[in-house]
Structure 1
Amino acid sequence: MINRRHLLVGGSALTAVAVTACAKPAPKPDLNATFQSIYDELVDNSPMLATTLGLDKDKRAGLKAKLDPSTPAERARQQAFIEKALASLKAIDREKLTGMDRINYDTVVWDYSQSLNGFKSFDFGSFGYPAPYVLSQLSGAYQSVPDFLDSQHSIETKADADAYLSRLTGYAVLLDQETERFKADVAKGVIPPDFALQKALTQLKGQRNTKAADSVLVASITRRTKEKAIAGDWNATATKTYEGEVVPALDRQIAAIEAALPKATHDAGIWHIPGGEAYYTFGARGGTSTDMTPDAIHQIGLDKVKEISAEMDAIMKAQGMTKGTTGERLAAMAKDPKFIYPNTDAGKDKLLADLNKQIDVVFAKLPQFFGTLPTSKVTVKRVPKATELGAPGGYYQSASLDGKRPGAYYINLRNTAEVPSWTLPTLTYHEAIPGHHMQISIQQENKNLPELRKISGFNAYIEGWALYSEQLAGTDMDMYATDPFGEIGYLHDALFRACRLVVDTGMHHKKWSREQAMDYMNTYLGDSNETEIERYAVWPGQALGYMIGKIKWLELREKSKAKLGAAFDIKKFHDTGLLAGAVPLAVLEQVYTDAGQI
């Protein structure tokens, strides 16, 4: 998922060092000092990033009352920031850098160059990141801010509660800013597919029609100020803001989407908007951190689907499942009542408790495979009910840098029939241990990385690691030794990611329809994956990173085994890649080359 897996770009331009004819020659730029300057500007100008990282205190305490703006002026400021950041880095002689200094340099330059390309090439959608629609079933402040305020904005004091109220007012302002940007994009012909707008409307109306007392926006501050015994009628004040400012802003956003809906087409691919073909090249490069062509990626997907389907077929037959295609057999397993938790609050609580126990089992095995372990904890939480309709099946939210807020593995429990028990082990290995929580926590806790690198993210590295972790848990940690259905779940998810390569390139490059993509998924997985297909439609290229990244991790591991032979150490292999932090795939290969492992 995008909310924690790419370098967050925001803030004003770097302050350049003035040099006059009378001044002494400026000292040669220092790499780490330059990184720190970029990082400080980034955090200082992104209140929401500061809160996410747990840095909205002391000299940055004023940020806690603000949200990140979404205006043309903010876009221009961010572009200027990236341009000057790159200029400051390119003033450093790369050829004189060695070891991790060069890795860090190449990583940040690649990322900022990619983002700057987005700013310069496209005047719509997200700022510099491949998400073309300001509003969709998966994009917009209405999707992110309510949970952000509830789960990331801490309330310990009256000042924290006042800041929450300020942000609640800011939420209404942000909604209006995005509404105006959405209208401007529609005028340019950048209109999301009809199904994306329809689901966005469903979610927006659900939020708008929720009474203040039942809204997480009001309930969160009411509950938490009561728990901390903070004096004041916080419920009344939050209710007034919610009803008087937030609801009207939601109404305006709903009206804007309803006005655009008749102009929307049913075309799923990004090709249907002006500049769509170039945008997909941008998205695929961002998603994979490679220059692979859509045609090459499509073919890798077809080959992997064939390979994984054959492996799954063999295990299914060993369990006496012989009738129908693998997709039909998976569909039958998905409907088997013995694998379904009760679709009740109690059943969902039991599911969450079982996943937490599973994490404990895997955590105990980590020292056999890793020399470096995370110190931060991870918890399993439900995707908020207000946004679960359009949200993916699971995603991870990183811990705060100070460790006070643990990492969170979110699972979508809108309907427990969508998450049969045989699918849950591998999802947990992916999102928590040894997947996202393991990788992101080690990166954040690494004292040898510049602060800027601790918060950087590259989709193919991060998602590739998480997908590699699914295989690591099964093949190396023997987590499926007595769980053949869990192993089928692992192969299902690997097949799922292989299918993504086919359908993402199919929709955005080969002009497949939404229905054609759903039919392909249904053939091989026994499920049309409607929500997932619609996700790929509005996040072009993001879904490519999983399998492409995993293939790179496995390729590097095999290269290391071939070079080192009996000296190969799985702990060293994992530590080398994880302690480098998230990097583009080409840079990841250089990490192992520098370490003498390939």
Structure 2
Amino acid sequence: MRTTRRQLLLGTAGTLAAATLPRAASAFLADGDARAEALLARTAETFLTLYPETATSLGIDKDKRAQLKHQLADRSPDGQRRIAAHLRQTLADLGKLDAAALSPVMRTNVEVVQASYGNALEGFAFAYGDVAVGSWRNTPYVVAQNVGAWIDVPRMLDTDHQVNTREDAEAYLDRLESYAEMLDGETERLKVAGANGVIAPDFLLDKNLTQLKRARGGNTAGWGVVTSLANRSAGMEGDFGNRAWMLANDKIAPALDRQIAELERHRKRATSDAGVWKFKDGEAYYAWALRAGTTTRMSPEEVHQMGLDQLRTIQAEMDTILKKEGYSQGSVGRRMEALAKDPRFTFPEGDPGRAEILKFLNARITDIRGRMPQAFNTLVKGNVEVRRLPPEEEPGAPGAYGGPGSIDGTIPGKFWINLRTTSLHTRFSLPDLAYHEAIPGHVWQGEYTFKLPLVRSLLQFNAYSEGWALYAEQLADELGVYADNPAEKLGYLQSLGFRACRLVVDTGLHAKRWTRKQAIDWFVGANGSSEEEVAGEVDRYCAWPGQACGYKVGHSEINRLRDRAKAALGQRYDFKAFNDALVLGGNVPMTVLGHVVDRHVAAQRA
């Protein structure tokens, strides 16, 4: 039975039931939905005023929202208090809705906002760090090697802020001025954090200070934020490049200097303790961060053991393939280290190797795009471009990340690849990375949310986003991409093992008091990843507690629910219809995902 998109969009069971309801009951549901829809629409608009950059990344900073293009979020203590107030008020308003008066689709929309906002409000109770409202980057540190305006704003201005008119260029200048204010707002919060003893580990601060000084530079005319506007406004009246230089020189540079000075004061007091256990409320903070990252109530010990168990299962499959490839001696991790050094799978160092990597990735994305009709009934465009991370960001960044572009398609999704050294990547590991970050991973899945109410495009759950991306890797394997290349299948399995290792290392750092070196050594030995890659990964877990655990927890739950659907439907189970249900239902916490699958099963039985 082929279901319609409307049925798959969470509400099939409710839709079928509503058809048999008396007219008064149907009107009751319609009235309840109307009230909820109006509240969710207001919530979305308030969210955008608090996070104007999101309107730009989605391509909706125009018409009635045009003023948002001139603004940035307020990262000062006052700005944080306004966000928390919005969360409290919205949750209070949603709590007044009669759940019985909502259709299944609308009930899910409400539950998603309640889950996202409720979790974020718990995070704000700790009164330090950065809380991800509708996103994934929770961190106890206001600024770190992978956290802060110094990363977020220049990238957003260069890649998302469109400059097609003089008004666009004026908006860019307004944002440059706000960028300096944003930096100072963060610096103010850094002072509060320092007074409360919330200081990043010395190794993170060393990396961060190096990056900030590089970003600060000595020649502000060469800054990306200046040259980006100068190049794109060439030919326009207004001398925008020179005005951008003046703002960078007179306002942004001094603000960066003030932030650097505050971080140097932190550095004098920093220790090498890697985990959040060192804070007076560190255990409670990590428990919250783990809930936020996984949308479960799993304890650190349960997550740790899950990682060990899954790694053992994954490596048993790898062992069989490695022996067929002629690698039979030593642990799976050590054999994968040897495979990564095989000249067949390496890239040249320097720009020639970087160019090869970009060409390689684009070819794999083209191939997998052609296979998507085998996995989905409902297709999206998969609008994506592969881009190198800005060099000043690369030292503190992971190997890659990606996400969808704008709703109208004018801004393509991005697959950001870290090319600080080509030794980060191998020919057997890159295909899997493309499937995770681009298609059918983050970029592909994200485009389905554009068909949902706006508030659903604004809110993400780490376990779903990253669980889906691992499931996307699995889909590629199920579509036969590795049929003729067992080494690439090893790359896929090593990726799964990598995420299982994350469960062990993240909990090891923050709950078991592992040192940075202990975490790196265990990871390299267990999975065979390079020390270059693993060192950056471990630093990421130190800065983003709990986030890395969402991948394998989410992936495992998706597969558990797929097995449940197969068992319930038997011959009626349809691979493409199930995948449609997952993406059309949107980004949800794991608890709600079970309801999505239940309604899909009910629809397939009807």
TM-score > 0.5 by shorter chain: yes
Of the candidates 470, 473, 487, which is equivalent to residue 473 of structure 2?
Answer: 470
Q: Which residue of 1 aligns with 2:232?
A: 224
Decide whether the 8 Å contact of 2:76 with 2:184 is kept in 1: no
Decide whether the 8 Å contact of 1:161 with 1:221 is kept in 2: yes
Decide whether the 8 Å contact of 1:312 with 1:326 is kept in 2: yes
- Asked whether 1:443 is paired with 2:444, we answer no
Range with bigger deviation, 193-202 or 321-330: 321-330
- Asked whether 1:151 is paired with 2:155, we answer no
Q: Which residue of 1 aligns with 2:219?
A: 211
> How do 1:29-48 and structure 2 match up within 5 A?
30-48=35-53
- The answer for unaligned runs of 5 or more in structure 1 is 1-26
Mapped partners of 2:95, 2:542: distance in 1: 36
Query: 1:499: Cα distance to partner?
Result: 0.3
SS of 2:401's partner is: strand
The count of corresponding residues between Structure 1 and Structure 2 is: 565
Q: Which residue of 2 aligns with 1:334?
A: 340
Q: Which residue of 2 aligns with 1:520?
A: 522
C-alpha distance after superposition, 1:72-103 (max 9, x if no partner): 21111111111111111111111333321222
- The answer for unaligned runs of 5 or more in structure 2 is 1-30
Decide whether the 8 Å contact of 1:66 with 1:167 is kept in 2: yes
> How do 1:10-49 and structure 2 match up within 5 A?
30-49=35-54
Mapped partners of 1:237, 1:78: distance in 2: 32
Range with bigger deviation, 461-470 or 370-379: 370-379
> How do 1:420-435 and structure 2 match up within 5 A?
420-435=426-441
Q: Which residue of 1 aligns with 2:555?
A: 550
Decide whether the 8 Å contact of 2:318 with 2:490 is kept in 1: yes
Amino acid at match of 2:160: Q
Mapped partners of 2:161, 2:223: distance in 1: 16
Range with bigger deviation, 525-534 or 298-307: 525-534
Q: Which residue of 1 aligns with 2:6?
A: none
Of the candidates 125, 130, 137, which is equivalent to residue 126 of structure 1?
Answer: 130
Mapped partners of 1:171, 1:40: distance in 2: 22
Decide whether the 8 Å contact of 1:518 with 1:533 is kept in 2: yes
**Kindly tell me: are residues 537 and 223 of structure 1, through their superposed partners in 2, closer, same or farther at Cα, counting changes over 3 Å?**
same
C-alpha distance after superposition, 1:10-55 (max 9, x if no partner): xxxxxxxxxxxxxxxxx97711111111111111332212211212
Of the candidates 266, 277, 280, which is equivalent to residue 283 of structure 2?
Answer: 277
Query: 1:217: Cα distance to partner?
Result: 1.1
Amino acid at match of 1:198: D
C-alpha distance after superposition, 1:357-403 (max 9, x if no partner): 21111111111110111135111111111201101111113211121
Decide whether the 8 Å contact of 2:43 with 2:455 is kept in 1: yes
Pairwise CA RMSD:
1.5
Query: 1:233: Cα distance to partner?
Result: 2.8
Range with bigger deviation, 449-458 or 126-135: 126-135
Query: 1:463: Cα distance to partner?
Result: 0.3
Amino acid at match of 2:89: K
Q: Which residue of 2 aligns with 1:503?
A: 505
Decide whether the 8 Å contact of 1:271 with 1:508 is kept in 2: yes
* TM-score of the pair, normalised by structure 2: 0.91
Amino acid at match of 1:204: L
Amino acid at match of 1:257: L
Query: 1:342: Cα distance to partner?
Result: 2.1
Mapped partners of 1:294, 1:125: distance in 2: 21
C-alpha distance after superposition, 1:136-167 (max 9, x if no partner): 11111011111111111110011111111221
Mapped partners of 1:154, 1:125: distance in 2: 30
SS of 1:131's partner is: coil
Runs of 4+ in 1 over 4 A off after TM superposition: none
- Asked whether 1:410 is paired with 2:413, we answer no
- Asked whether 1:356 is paired with 2:359, we answer no
C-alpha distance after superposition, 1:521-573 (max 9, x if no partner): 01112334000001001100000000000001111111111111121101110
C-alpha distance after superposition, 1:493-516 (max 9, x if no partner): 100000000010111111111111
Percent identical residues: 43
Query: 1:482: Cα distance to partner?
Result: 0.9
Of the candidates 112, 115, 119, which is equivalent to residue 120 of structure 2?
Answer: 115
Q: Which residue of 1 aligns with 2:583?
A: 578
Q: Which residue of 1 aligns with 2:207?
A: 199
Range with bigger deviation, 501-510 or 39-48: 39-48
Of the candidates 292, 301, 304, which is equivalent to residue 298 of structure 2?
Answer: 292
Q: Which residue of 2 aligns with 1:481?
A: 483
Of the candidates 142, 154, 173, which is equivalent to residue 181 of structure 2?
Answer: 173
Query: 1:312: Cα distance to partner?
Result: 0.8
SS of 1:261's partner is: helix
Q: Which residue of 1 aligns with 2:252?
A: 246
Amino acid at match of 1:588: L
Decide whether the 8 Å contact of 1:372 with 1:442 is kept in 2: no
Decide whether the 8 Å contact of 1:376 with 1:399 is kept in 2: no
C-alpha distance after superposition, 1:57-86 (max 9, x if no partner): 222222212211111211111111111111
Decide whether the 8 Å contact of 2:57 with 2:411 is kept in 1: no
